[in-house]
Amino acid sequence: MTAASRAEVAVVACAELFRGDGEIVASPMALIPAIGARLARLTFEPDLLLSDGEAYLLDTEGRVEGWQPFKKVLDVVVPHGKRHVVMGASQLDRFGNQNISAIGEHAHPKRQLLGVRGAPGNTVNNRTSYWVPRHGTRVFTPAVDVVSGVGHDNAAKAGQAATRFHDLHRVVTDLAVLDFSGPEHTMRLVSVHPGVSVADVVERTGFELDTSAVTSTRLPDHDELRLIREVLDPAGSREREVAA
């Protein structure tokens, strides 16, 4: 079997986001995190619940195995924290504040994006991770233009109502894995993917990173590669989401 591609390393890094979650609803909001969640369920997290995001709980092949209307997600799952969300980000700062709403001044934005959507509720109620397929200074910026997802500094300002269930977990990108274990809950570089240096990540990040304890992102093993290539994504769609 050929060596793992960068996309396949990212899939495994996204699967690792769910390690230890147990019976919890996984809400991955992009292709590679979705493949990662399914891989986690097929290997080390068999109790993970997968959803289509609207009405159904699914098995790893996309077959319906339960019913969970979206209203129930909003009424029960989101407020009570039994969920791990993996969102995207147009901007992320060092405290984990996320922007998916607009670029530029809020009153007169240069570019209108999705709006805040469910990001505030996700970040103050559920474990939240982020997937960024193009690691660069446009995304990893000193300050976000609009706070959609709540970072550590803004959660602290809001008090216990925001911090009680606030749980920013990790960020997976096409270059690296990061978390928020730096000083004052700032972003820390956890690992770099094969072929990527610490200097590459630092250069493409618009703020200072804690690089005190960087390792290499683990590679998929033989069985994981087989599952990714033959079961979960035989069409190879993952390779279109990551350039390298």
The domain containing residue 12 runs over which residues? 6-240
Query: What confidence score (pLDDT) does residue 130 get?
Result: 98
- How far, in Å, are 33, 42, 195, 237 from residue 98 at the CA level? 17, 30, 28, 26
The pair of structure tokens assigned to 232 is 């979960």
169-194 residue pLDDT tens: 999 999 999 999 999 999 999 999 99
Q: What is the dihedral of CA 86, 87, 91, 97, to 10 degrees?
A: -70
In-domain check, residue 34: yes
Does some domain include residue 13?
yes
- Residue 203 counted as domain residue: yes
Is there a domain that residue 94 lies in? Answer: yes
- The pLDDT-based confidence of 161 (bands split at 50, 70, 90) is confident
Q: Give the confidence band of 69 by pLDDT, cuts at 50, 70, 90.
A: low
Q: What is the pLDDT of residue 206?
A: 97
CATH number at residue 124: 3.40.1080.10
For 110-179, the three-class secondary structure string (H helix, E strand, C coil) is CEECCCCCCHHHHHHHCEEEEEECCCCCCCECCCCCCCCECCHHHHHHHCHHHHCCCEEEEEEECCEEEE
Q: Is the dihedral of CA 234, 3, 216, 201 positive or negative?
A: negative
pLDDT average, residue stretch 209-222: 97
Asked, for residue 1, whether it belongs to a domain, the answer is no
Please state whether beta strands 64-67 and 56-58 pair in parallel, antiparallel, or not at all (unpaired).
antiparallel
- Pick the closest to residue 218 from 181, 176, 166 (CA basis): 176
In a domain, residue 96? The reply is yes
- What pLDDT was estimated at residue 204? 98
Rounded distance, CA 170 to CA 178, Å?
Answer: 6
Q: Is position 58 within any domain?
A: yes
List pLDDT tens digits, range 129-159.
999 999 999 999 999 999 999 999 999 999 9
Query: What is the helix (H) or strand (E) element at residue 215, kind and residue range?
Result: strand 215-216
- Cβ–Cβ under 8 Å, residues 51 and 73: yes
Whether 212 shows a pLDDT value over 80: the answer reads yes
CB 99 within 8 A of CB 119: no
Q: Largest Cα–Cα distance in the chain? A: 53
Number of domains in the chain: 1
Q: 93: alpha, beta or left, given left = phi > 0 and alpha = psi -120 to 50?
A: beta
Has residue 95 been placed in a domain? yes
Measured from the Cβ of residue 153, the count of other Cβ atoms closer than 10 Å reads 17
- The pLDDT confidence band at residue 65, using thresholds 50, 70 and 90, is low
